[in-house]
């Protein structure tokens, strides 16, 4: 075993002489294939948490990143890799060398390698833009000019009512604390009915998204609408939509993310009297939608090209496309088209 006198080599140097090199990286626990390219060798990877992949020909790095992130390779990976933790309908997987190294890489022409690499570069730029736009939105939502104004459940469902509403409808002759307790129980029962309906639509690993059309707010779990018929003013719409999308973004159904938690988040809203702030959030939302649309289009093109390079038959493509991903069924979920008014 080699020794090293430097402070980081008190035991043995491992791969310290390689971390400065351009390399692909992948976390060791992932729900699907997610490979990034450290083109400047700016990061040192911890081999327990992040694995590095060196390319003998650096010109192939973007090609390899694109292929490894394609849907077809992810399909193969999740059938070879060891589940890290099992769930009724999903799992995280170990992405160490024994599961990454055997993944098939298509033998193809330089022209096709350049096509894949170009798409991978474009997706890298688009995802960077998406991340920066999200940070800009989050910064504004966290501004000191935003005021916390949580909404009651009756804002989503009028039939839930509140204590004064049901107290006024008491026909049992109740008074005082007994009346208040009864009215609160009715509210809780009405709310529980709605939560149970939402719970039936939620399955582990499902992603979420929010949408608005003609002033109507909707919230989806996968492709099922769990909140609808919430109408807001034209001025408040972009502000509420930004917050609902902030909740949905990178969130998925789990043991802790259930119907009650999601509804609690949807009601925990902020407002502001600063019209400039609302306008900025609205513009950033539009920019984010445009970027995500371009990401979807480019990812679709990359997946189709990958099918072609692997020589998949039509039935094999349908098998891959019909596969349910454990957490991210779509890289960026979107709601079904809303009915026209």
pLDDT at 40: 86
pLDDT at 58: 76
pLDDT at 32: 86
Residue 279 three-state SS: helix
Q: Are 97 and 83 in contact (CB under 8 A)?
A: no
pLDDT by 10-residue block (mean), the chain, 341 residues: 55 68 87 88 79 82 95 92 63 85 93 96 96 96 95 96 93 90 96 96 86 91 91 91 89 85 96 94 93 94 96 94 57 50 40
Q: How many helices (H) and strands (E) does the chain have?
A: 10, 11
Among 340, 81, 107, 102, which residue's Cα sits nearest to residue 213? 340
Sign of the CA dihedral running 162, 167, 172, 177: positive
Strands 23-27 and 35-38: antiparallel
Strand partners, 148: 270
pLDDT at 249: 84
């Amino acid at each position: 075993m080699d020794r090293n006198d430097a402070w980081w080599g008190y035991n043995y140097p491992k791969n310290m002489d390689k971390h400065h090199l351009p390399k692909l990286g992948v976390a060791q626990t992932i729900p699907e294939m997610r490979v990034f390219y450290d083109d400047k060798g700016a990061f040192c990877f911890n081999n327990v948490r992040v694995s590095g992949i060196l390319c003998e020909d650096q010109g192939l790095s973007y090609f390899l990143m694109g292929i490894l992130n394609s849907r077809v390779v992810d399909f193969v990976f999740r059938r070879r890799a060891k589940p890290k933790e099992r769930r009724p309908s999903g799992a995280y997987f170990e992405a160490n060398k024994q599961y990454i190294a055997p993944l098939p890489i298509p033998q193809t022409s330089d022209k096709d390698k350049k096509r894949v690499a170009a798409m991978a570069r474009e997706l890298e730029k688009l995802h960077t833009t998406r991340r920066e736009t999200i940070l800009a939105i989050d910064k504004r939502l966290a501004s000191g000019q935003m005021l916390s104004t949580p909404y009651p459940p009756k804002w989503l469902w009028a039939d839930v009512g509140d204590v004064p509403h049901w107290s006024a409808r008491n026909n049992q002759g109740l008074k005082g604390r007994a009346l208040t307790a009864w009215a609160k129980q009715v509210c809780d029962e009405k709310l529980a009915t709605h939560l149970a309906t939402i719970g039936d639509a939620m399955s582990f690993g499902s992603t979420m998204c929010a949408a608005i059309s003609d002033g109507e707010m909707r919230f989806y779990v996968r492709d099922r609408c769990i909140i609808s018929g919430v109408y807001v003013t034209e001025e408040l719409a972009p502000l509420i939509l930004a917050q609902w999308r902030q909740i949905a973004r990178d969130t998925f159904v789990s043991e802790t993310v259930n119907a009650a938690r999601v509804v609690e988040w949807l009601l925990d809203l902020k407002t502001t009297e600063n019209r400039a702030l609302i306008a900025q959030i609205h513009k950033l939302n539009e920019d984010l939608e445009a970027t995500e649309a371009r990401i979807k289009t480019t990812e679709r093109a990359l997946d189709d090209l990958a099918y072609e390079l692997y020589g998949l038959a039509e039935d094999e493509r349908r098998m891959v496309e019909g596969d349910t991903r454990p957490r991210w069924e779509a890289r960026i979920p979107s709601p079904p088209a809303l009915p026209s008014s």
